């Protein structure tokens, strides 16, 4: 057993106010540039649907197959651009569904300490350094959001979008939860715990829609107004 105390890393010299100020300005500039580049990257897509879900989902899993099929229909029947986080799992499934049908398929990837690979089914892609600038770009002016089963990252994205709609920071956009078996458990928690304890309002449970019916989803998206992203 190693009983050595961990060594605290010491700075070679204390940071000065000038050092801190320069570091802050550099980071703000990088954030600003990445945000602007993200908007420029996606703004020419007139109609988009953004897919979220687990990067761990395998090709033979039901969630992957269902997402791939739905994305293909959105690309062909509606002529919408499919937007994802650009990596594997559900993101690959959605990009693949659109790509295989000859549709527009966009990936917004992220730099990670352990390399996150891009999937080969995008017609256009961009890589981000910051999670939050990427997330803003994924959400930017989409006509609908489709959430397949996922983990912490998917939950973060889902509840941020629901909060933005709840607080009227963005207009009411369809939030579709694909996969009743998975999402019904979360729905029960929202209703039996959050609503019952007064943490949300009764109308908040209408901010999302749970279904496995692809034709129903197509109709929901078809009825959704086209967004400009400048409201």
Q: How far apart are CA 119 and CA 170, in angstroms?
A: 30
Whether 50 is covered by a domain: the verdict is yes
Question: Do 150 and 127 meet the contact criterion of CB atoms below 8 Å apart?
Answer: no
pLDDT at 120: 95
Whether 149 is covered by a domain: the verdict is yes
Whether 6 is covered by a domain: the verdict is no
In sequence order, the 6+-apart residues with CB closer than 8 A to the CB of 215 are: none
User: How many domains is the chain partitioned into structurally?
Assistant: 1
209, with CB counted inside 10 A (0-12, 13-18, 19+), is: middle
Q: How many CA within 13 A on the CB side of residue 230?
A: 2
pLDDT at 9: 57
pLDDT at 11: 55
pLDDT at 113: 74
C-alpha separations of 153 from 56, 75, 85, 86, 132 in Å: 12, 25, 11, 14, 11
C-alpha separations of 31 from 84, 160, 170, 180 in Å: 20, 19, 22, 37
Whether 25 is covered by a domain: the verdict is no
pLDDT at 197: 98
Whether 89 is covered by a domain: the verdict is yes
For each of the chain's 231 residues, which pLDDT tens digit applies?
555 665 555 556 777 877 788 888 888 999 999 999 999 998 888 899 999 999 999 999 999 999 999 999 999 999 999 999 999 999 999 999 999 999 999 999 998 876 568 899 999 999 999 999 999 999 988 999 999 999 999 999 999 999 999 999 999 999 999 999 999 999 999 999 999 999 999 999 999 999 999 999 999 999 999 987 655
Q: How many CA within 13 A on the CB side of residue 62?
A: 7
Domain span at 209: 38-221
Question: Do 82 and 105 meet the contact criterion of CB atoms below 8 Å apart?
Answer: yes
Whether 28 is covered by a domain: the verdict is no
CATH code for the domain in which residue 172 is found: 3.40.50.450
pLDDT at 8: 55
Q: How far apart are CA 224 and CA 106, in angstroms?
A: 20
What counts of helices (H) and strands (E) characterise the chain? Answer: 7, 7
What predicted TM-score, i.e. pTM, was given to this entire model? 0.88
Q: Is 105 helix (H, G, I), strand (E, B) or coil?
A: strand
Whether 215 is covered by a domain: the verdict is yes
pLDDT at 135: 93
Q: How far apart are CA 86 and CA 228, in angstroms?
A: 23
Q: Is 201 helix (H, G, I), strand (E, B) or coil?
A: coil
Q: How far apart are CA 149 and CA 58, in angstroms?
A: 12
């Amino acid at each position: 057993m190693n009983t050595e105390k961990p060594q605290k890393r010491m700075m070679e010299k204390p940071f000065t106010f000038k050092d801190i100020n320069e570091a802050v300005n550099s980071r703000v500039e990088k954030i600003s540039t990445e945000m602007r580049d993200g908007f420029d990257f996606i703004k020419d897509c007139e109609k988009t649907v953004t897919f979220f879900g687990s990067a761990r989902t395998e090709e033979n899993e039901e969630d992957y197959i269902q997402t791939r099929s739905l994305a293909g229909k959105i690309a062909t029947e509606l002529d919408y651009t499919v937007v994802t986080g650009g990596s594997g799992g559900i993101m690959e499934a959605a990009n693949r569904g659109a790509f295989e049908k000859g549709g527009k398929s966009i990936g917004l990837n992220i730099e990670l300490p352990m390399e996150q690979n891009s999937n080969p089914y995008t017609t256009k892609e961009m890589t981000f350094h910051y999670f939050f600038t990427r997330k803003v770009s994924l959400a930017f002016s989409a006509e609908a959001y489709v959430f397949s089963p996922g983990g912490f990252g998917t939950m973060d994205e889902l509840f941020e979008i629901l909060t933005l709609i709840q607080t009227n920071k963005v207009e009411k956009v369809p939030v579709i939860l694909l996969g009743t078996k998975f999402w019904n458990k979360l729905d029960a928690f929202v209703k039996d715990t959050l609503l019952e304890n007064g943490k949300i309002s009764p109308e908040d449970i209408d901010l999302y829609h749970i279904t496995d019916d692809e034709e129903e989803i197509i109709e929901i998206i078809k009825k959704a107004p086209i967004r400009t992203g400048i409201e």
